[in-house]
Amino acid sequence: MRFTSEESSAGVCEQLFTLDEIPGVLWTPEGAAGTRPLILMGHGGGEHKKAPGIVSHAHRFVAEYGFAVAAVDVPGHGDRPTEEEYNRIAAENRARVEAGEELAPLVAGFQALVARQTVPEWQAVLDAIQRLEHVGAGPVGYWGVSLGCGLGVPFVATERRVRAAVLGLGGALASASAAAKISVPVEFLLQWDDERVPRAQGLALFDAIASAEKTLHANPGKHDEIPAFEIDSTLRFFARHLS
Nearer to its own copies, 117 or 233 (CB): 233
Per CB under 8 A, the list member of 206, 234, 238, 242 interacting with its own copies is 206
We find the least distance from the C-beta atom of residue 131 to its own copies, in angstroms, to be: 34
Nearer to its own copies, 94 or 240 (CB): 240
Residues 212-241 that bind its own copies (CB under 8 A): 212-220, 227, 229, 232-233, 236, 240
Spatial distance between the Cα atoms of 50 and 7, rounded to a whole number of angstroms: 14
We find the least distance from the C-beta atom of residue 54 to its own copies, in angstroms, to be: 23
CA angle centred on 112, ends 108 and 114, rounded to 5° = 115
We find the least distance from the C-beta atom of residue 165 to its own copies, in angstroms, to be: 15
We find the least distance from the C-beta atom of residue 149 to its own copies, in angstroms, to be: 17
Footprint of its own copies (CB under 8 A): 190, 192, 203, 206-207, 212-220, 227, 229, 232-233, 236, 240
